[in-house]
Amino acid sequence: MWPPNLQNMRKKLPLLPILLVLASVSCKKSNSGSGSSGNSLSGTWGFIYMTAHTNSAVDQSFGADEYTDLTISDFTTTHNTGTIAFNNGVEKESNVSYESSTLSEDSSYEDGQLLVTTRSLDEGGIPPTSGSVKYQVIGSDSLYYPAGGFFTVDGSGVSQTTPVGSKFTFHGDTLVIMTTIHQVTDQGYPGQPATQTIDATATAYFLR
pLDDT tens digits for range 151-194: 543 333 334 456 778 899 999 999 999 988 788 888 766 567 88
Task: Decide: 140 and 167 in contact? Cβ < 8 Å.
Answer: no
Number of domains into which the chain is organized:
1
Segments of the chain scoring below 70 in pLDDT: 1-39, 148-162, 188-191
How far apart are the C-alpha atoms of 93 and 110, rounded to whole Å?
45
Which domain does 173 fall in, by range? 26-207
Does residue 21 sit within a domain?
A: no
In a domain? residue 14: no
Contact in structure between 90 and 84 (CB atoms under 8 Å): no
Q: What is the pLDDT of residue 105?
A: 95
Residue 17 lies in a domain: no
Is residue 10 included in any domain, yes or no? no
Write down the pLDDT at residue 161.
57
Q: Is residue 20 part of a domain?
A: no
Residues 123 and 125: their CA atoms lie apart, in Å, by 7
Angle, vertex CA 38, rays to CA 32 and CA 40, nearest 5: 115
- Sign of torsion, CA 170 179 93 144? negative
Q: What is the pLDDT of residues 11-23, one digit of tens each?
A: 444 444 444 333 2
Report yes or no on 130 lying in a domain. Answer: yes
What global pTM score does this model have? 0.75
State residue 150's pLDDT score: 60
